[in-house]
A and B are shown apart, each in its own frame.
Chain A
Amino acid sequence: GQSLEQPSEVTAVEGAIVQINCTYQTSGFYGLSWYQQHDGGAPTFLSYNALDGLEETGRFSSFLSRSDSYGYLLLQELQMKDSASYFCAVRKGRRALTFGSGTRLQVQP
C-alpha cells in the first residue's frame, strides 16, 4: 500500500517563510506533487518533483529526496492569500495520484 504523512496544521505570519513536510511510503515511486486548495475550491497544481533536488516557481519551491522518501513545500514571503490546505501526492507508475490528508496553513497578519 501507500501512505503519506504531513502535518495537519501550520501557522505563520505574513512575510515569513514556511516549510510543509511530507514523508511517504510506497513502492514503485515515480514522483511527488503538491496541490493547493482554498476552502470551497478545487485543488490546484503547484509542482511536481521526479528527481532529487529543489524546484523553484516564484515564491513556492518544492524539494524531493528519494533516498529519504521525503519532500517539502517551501513558501516564501507569505501572503494572506496563501492561507489554504496543501496536499502532497505520490505518483506510482501510471496509476492515479494518491493524496495525503493535507496541511492547513493559516497565515496571520
Chain B
Amino acid sequence: EAGVVQSPRYKIIEKKQPVAFWCNPISGHNTLYWYRQNLGQGPELLIRYENEEAVDDSQLPKDRFSAERLKGVDSTLKIQPAELGDSAVYLCASGTDYGYTFGSGTRLTVV
C-alpha cells in the first residue's frame, strides 16, 4: 500500500508570499498530524486531525497558518504570508496512538 504522500518535496519562496503543502495519509487512517522540523531538532506538532475535525491546534500560529482536511482524507497546510523563520521541513503523518507513518516532508526555504 502507498505510504503517506506529500507534495511538493521542495519549495523556495520569497518572504511575504503564500505557500501550501498537501498531504494524503494512509488509506483508512483517521488521525492525521502536521509537524514542523527545524534543522537539528525533533518534529514539533502543529495540528492534529481526527477525521475532518482539528482536535489539537494549540501550537498552530493561527495568524499566518491555516489547515484543512476536507472529507477527512487529504489535508492542506497553508502559510500566508511566509516569514524567514518559517524555513523548515513540514512533515505529515498518519497512524495510531502507538506508531506514526511519516511522509517524506516538504522542505520549505523562505528567502
The proximity string for A residues 16-36 relative to B, scoring 1 for CB distances below 8 Å and 0 otherwise, is 000000000000001101000
Which of B42, B56, B97, B100 is the most central at the interface, judged by chain A CB atoms within 10 Å of its CB? B42
Which of B33, B45, B97, B99 is the most central at the interface, judged by chain A CB atoms within 10 Å of its CB? B97
CB distance A94 to B102 under 8 Å?
no
Q: How many residues of A contact B (CB 8 A)?
A: 21
Interface set, chain A 34-74, CB cutoff 8 A to B: 41-45, 48
Interface set, chain A 65-109, CB cutoff 8 A to B: 87, 89, 91, 94-102
- Set of chain A residues within 8 Å of B33, measured between Cβ atoms: 96
Residue of B43, B48, B98 near A99 (CB, 8 A) is B43
CB distance B40 to A97 under 8 Å?
no
Q: How many residues of B contact A (CB 8 A)?
A: 21
CB distance A102 to B97 under 8 Å?
no
CB distance A102 to B105 under 8 Å?
no
The proximity string for B residues 97-111 relative to A, scoring 1 for CB distances below 8 Å and 0 otherwise, is 111111111000000
Closest to B105 in A: A42
Query: A48-B99, A96-B33, A96-B56 given as contacts; is B42 within 8 A of A42 (CB)?
Result: no
CB distance A43 to B102 under 8 Å?
yes
Residues of A within 8 A of B (CB): 30-31, 33, 41-45, 48, 87, 89, 91, 94-102
29 contacts between A and B (CB under 8 A): A31-B98, A33-B98, A33-B99, A42-B91, A42-B102, A42-B105, A43-B100, A45-B95, A45-B100, A45-B101, A48-B98, A48-B99, A87-B43, A89-B42, A94-B97, A95-B48, A95-B56, A96-B33, A96-B48, A97-B45, A97-B100, A98-B45, A99-B42, A99-B44, A100-B42, A101-B41, A101-B42, A102-B40, A102-B42
Q: A41-B104, A99-B44, A102-B42 are in contact. List 7 more A-B contacts (CB 8 A).
A: A31-B98, A33-B98, A33-B99, A43-B100, A45-B100, A91-B98, A101-B41
